[in-house]
Amino acid sequence: MPQFDLSATTDGEWAVLALSGELDLATGPAVRECLHELIDGGVRHVVVDLRQVGFLDSIGLGVLVAAYRRLHHGEPAGSLRLVCTNERVVKVFELTGLLRMFPMHASLEQARAAEVPHAAGSPGDEARTTPV
């Protein structure tokens, strides 16, 4: 198994959480704890750098979705943005329909500069919407 590493840097209301290795059952709790500490510490916008992540499972997805919800529904509302260039990891987001919530960015600069998508909601929002 590749070595897991996690590092966070903050700049005011912004934080970058860089991950490497695998984001799964074994590492998800550490990522969740770090995200909670950042958000509880006043960070409103988090960029998660997944460029060095080689594997992501449903536990990892759940950690990211939970952090998105905390930030998106917080007061004031924040954002969670992802940087990822690994096609295998991007494919997981595509197959689960989470690319609507988490547009992928190629660099930290692009992620910070991106507008927050207003149409993106929490997973399942589309299921509660009935067509007219």
Q: Which residues contact 40 (CB under 8 A, 6 or more apart)?
A: none
The DSSP code for 44 is -
Which CATH number does the domain housing residue 27 bear? Answer: 3.30.750.24
Number of domains in the chain: 1
Strands (E), 24-78: 45-56
Q: Find the distance separating the first CA and the last CA of the chain, reported in whole Å.
A: 49
pLDDT digits (tens, 9 = 90+) for 75-92: 899 999 999 999 999 999
> Which residue range(s) make up the domain with 21?
5-128
Is residue 129 scored above 80 in pLDDT? no
What is the sign of the dihedral through the CA atoms of 86, 88, 93 and 95? Answer: positive
Token pair for 20 = 């490497």
The DSSP code for 102 is S
Give this prediction's pTM. 0.85
pLDDT digits (tens, 9 = 90+) for 40-56: 999 999 999 999 999 99
